[in-house]
A and B are shown apart, each in its own frame.
Chain A
Amino acid sequence: MLSASHGALLGAVFNLNHPAHTVDWEFIHLSVANVVVIVLMVVVFALAILLPFPGAARRAQARKAAAGAVGVGGTAAKGGGPTIRTDGGPQ
Chain B
Amino acid sequence: MSWLRPKDDAQPWRGPYAPYDLIKELVIAVCVITLIAVLLTILFSSPDEKPSTIAQWSRQDPINFVATATKELNGTSATAEYGPPYNHKSASVQHFLFLHPQRWLGVSHPINTRYDYVIGPLQTVTADPALSAAVAQYEAAPEAQKTAWGEAYAKPLEEYEKATAAHKTPPSTVSLDESTGAVTVHPSGDAGPVPTMMAGLLNLARSGGLDGTLLTSDQFYQTDYTKPLLFLADGGLLAERAEAQHLLGTQWGMMNETGSYPGQTWLWLYTLWYQVEPMKSSPNADLQVMLIMAALSLLFICIPFLPVVNRVPRWIPIYRLIWREHYRSQGVA
Bound state CA distance, A60 and B16, in angstroms? 10
Give Cα distance in the complex from A55 to B20, angstroms. 9
Interface size on B, residues (CB 8 A): 39
Residues on the A chain within 8 Å of B250, using CB = 29
| CB 8 Å contact bits of B10-40 with A (1 = contact, 0 = none) | 0000111111100000000000000000000
Of B81-89, B127-135, B182-190, B261-269, the stretch lying at the interface with chain A is B261-269
- For A1-31 the 0/1 string (1 means CB < 8 A from B) is 0101011111111101111111000011111
- From B15, B19, B50, B329, give the contact of A78 (CB < 8 A): B19
- For the complex with contacts A21-B260, A31-B256, A58-B18, 7 further pairs of A-B residues with Cβ separation under 8 Å are A12-B44, A17-B47, A20-B259, A34-B262, A66-B15, A79-B17, A81-B16
Question: Interface residue tally of chain A, by bracket?
Answer: 35 or more
Interface residue A37 (Cβ < 8 Å from any Cβ of B): yes
B177 within 8 Å of A (CB atoms): no
List of A residues within 8 angstroms of B259 by Cβ: 7, 16-20
Contact, CB under 8 Å: A6 / B14: no
B244 on the A face (CB < 8 A): yes
B275 contacts chain A at the CB level, 8 A cutoff: yes
Q: Give the residue of B44, B244, B322 whose beta carbon is less than 8 angstroms from that of A16.
A: B44
Query: A-B pairs with the 4 shortest C-beta distances?
Result: A81-B17, A12-B45, A79-B19, A66-B16
Which residues of B line the A interface, CB within 8 A?
A: 14-20, 42-45, 47-50, 244-246, 250-252, 255-263, 265, 268, 275-276, 318, 321-322, 325, 329
Let me know if A33 is at the binding interface, CB within 8 A: yes
Beta-carbon contacts under 8 Å, A76-91 to B: 76-85, 91
* In the complex, residue of chain B having the shortest beta-carbon distance to the beta carbon of A50: B321
